[in-house]
């Protein structure tokens, strides 16, 4: 948070605070999956009490805002956890040790067939820091060329190109709720890419 772009008031509000700090005094692994590791932590709170914390450790992910001729590329995908179809920017998980920019280009090409000549970082999002350390870096794709899509086995999605104004409006009225998509669209709008 030492960037000169971060307002001083925000930098001050994010400063370490011993009255809020927790110290991990014990950890137990509960489950390991290909997507995350679940842990039970025992922490000592600032007042000296002990409390459990349940954490899902994750490699992180990426998302890509791709815009062409005033339209935003989104994928329609059924999400089992929500039991419905969502609209999301193309996205996916980082492979262990993979650079986010590389993963963003890979995921964009796999899901949509789009190849970007440039990827500019827009925003980093922690979707639910109360229980997971998963972070998602969202990029803006530029210089788009169309190639063949090749989604992962078992991944079924449909690519749609929607007017940027409709996508921004859908985010603002809550029709698009995926956190990486909401943050990516609003970051692109703030950067002047979307109207």
Q: Which entry of 22, 39, 153, 155 is annotated as an active-site residue?
A: 153
Residues present in the chain in total: 195
d(C-alpha 72, C-alpha 113), whole Å: 15
Question: In 10 A of CB 107, how many CB atoms?
Answer: 23
- In the annotation, is 153 catalytic? yes
Q: Do 106 and 114 form a contact (C-beta atoms < 8 A)?
A: no
What does residue 154 show for φ and ψ, rounded to 5 degrees?
85, 0
Residues annotated as catalytic (active site), given as ranges: 153
């Amino acid at each position: 948070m030492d960037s000169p772009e971060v307002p001083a008031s925000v930098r001050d509000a994010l400063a370490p605070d011993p009255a809020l700090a927790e110290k991990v005094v014990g950890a137990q692994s509960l489950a390991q999956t290909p997507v995350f590791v679940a842990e039970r932590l025992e922490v000592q709170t600032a007042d000296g009490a002990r409390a459990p914390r349940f954490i899902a450790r994750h490699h992180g992910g990426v998302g890509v805002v791709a815009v062409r001729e005033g339209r935003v590329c989104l994928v329609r995908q059924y999400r089992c956890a929500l039991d419905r179809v969502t609209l999301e920017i193309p996205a996916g998980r980082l492979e262990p040790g993979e650079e986010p920019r590389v993963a963003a280009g890979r995921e964009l090409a796999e899901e949509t067939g789009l190849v970007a000549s440039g990827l500019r970082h827009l925003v980093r999002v922690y979707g639910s820091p109360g229980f997971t350390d998963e972070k998602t870096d969202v990029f803006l794709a530029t210089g788009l060329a169309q190639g063949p899509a090749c989604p992962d086995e078992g991944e079924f999605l449909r690519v749609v190109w929607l007017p940027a104004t409709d996508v921004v409006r859908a985010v603002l009225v809550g029709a698009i709720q995926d956190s990486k998509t909401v943050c990516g669209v609003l970051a692109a709008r703030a950067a002047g890419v979307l109207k």
